Structure 1
Amino acid sequence: MSKQDITRLLGGWEGYRIGTIQRFEPGEKGDLAEVWIELMPLKRRRMKCSGCGRLVSTLHDIS
């Protein structure tokens, strides 16, 4: 499956492209299998944390 297909399947991320995709089996990063998707901004811009509102250089989502 291509990165474009994955992006479309997951609903897309406006302003971002997929960098890398990693799958971890149960026990590698926790008790359950996980998929990590790296999102790369299409344009250089400052990111803001939706929790505290501060400008940040990196973000992560744990949902």
Structure 2
Amino acid sequence: MKKTGFTCVKSVMTILLTSALIYLTICYPDVYQDTFKSCVTMVVTFYFSHQLSKRGEENDKTGN
């Protein structure tokens, strides 16, 4: 798969935002712990659902 500019930006933003949330969670655990859990849950859910939809499309194209 060829990386486009948008894909690269999306990956960089995901890494930066995750790093910022980790930093805030370490520095202020009482305040950001629930926020970190919610954000990680949303990101993981998005990536897994995206991968499942890609697999479904690939299977439809190959006829499996």
TM-score between both structures, scaled by the size of structure 1: 0.22
State the structure with bigger RCO (CA 8 A, min sep 6), 1 or 2. Answer: 1
More strand as a share of residues: 1
More helix as a share of residues: 2
TM-score between both structures, scaled by the size of structure 2: 0.22
